[in-house]
Structure 1
């Protein structure tokens, strides 16, 4: 099944800044996650809200992955995340997607 979200939509409409390779690497996980959020209520995968939710989740997964969020250091290069140490990338992706879905009625309210 082809994705409803293209790199052109992500870049031009959503205003995303990931490279095409990073976009492609995170798209399957983001799309599956948003489908899961909308599974019980149904989703219009061609709607702007749905596609923006996929883009928001995609950026969270690209930045944080799906596991626990934290910081790391490689040599003198350091990355710090100031989110709660108990937060996961999946939780951040969920929050980002739900912000885009808003009051559309597509998201299952049990995840809110």
Structure 2
């Protein structure tokens, strides 16, 4: 445990173990940001046991889904033809905050959550 290979996430893990529904292109496009975000949340800590490793990998999958859905900027908006409105229900929520919430759910109870996340 604790090596980069042990925490690596690929599309097979995402689809078969995590149960994700994104296509391979959307997943691989969101994966680099997801991996960076989970490393940041964990404060550079690596999983020390098998259960923590699974939670870490699941957090990467959750982050990838959230980045793919929300992006990194403000959440909210719509577009009809060339007319668009963004942040129509802006309560200060960003895509990054949504990603953090998704990761926290997977990492809860592992000891991997970095105290400085918020």
Superposition TM-score, scaled by structure 2 size: 0.80
Aligned mates of 1:83, 1:97 — CA distance in 2: 23
Closer, same or farther in 2 for the Cα pair 1:82/1:72, shift >3 Å?
A: closer
Closer, same or farther in 2 for the Cα pair 1:83/1:48, shift >3 Å?
A: farther
Aligned mates of 2:117, 2:39 — CA distance in 1: 13
Larger radius of gyration: 2
Give 2:73's aligned residue. Answer: 67
Q: How many residues align?
A: 108
The list of structure 1 runs, each at least 4 consecutive aligned residues, that deviate by more than 2 angstroms after superposition, is 80-85
Give 2:96's aligned residue. Answer: 90
Give 2:106's aligned residue. Answer: 100
Superimposed CA distance per residue, residues 17-72 of structure 1 (whole angstroms, 9 cap, x where no aligned partner): 111000000000000000001125x1229711000000111101000100101121
Give 2:32's aligned residue. Answer: 28
Structure 2, unmatched stretches of 5+, are none
Superposition TM-score, scaled by structure 1 size: 0.84
Question: Secondary structure in 1 aligned to 2:59?
Answer: helix
Aligned mates of 1:93, 1:82 — CA distance in 2: 20
Bigger drift between 30-39 and 1-10 goes to 1-10
Structure 1, unmatched stretches of 5+, are none
Aligned mates of 2:14, 2:88 — CA distance in 1: 26
Aligned mates of 1:81, 1:27 — CA distance in 2: 25
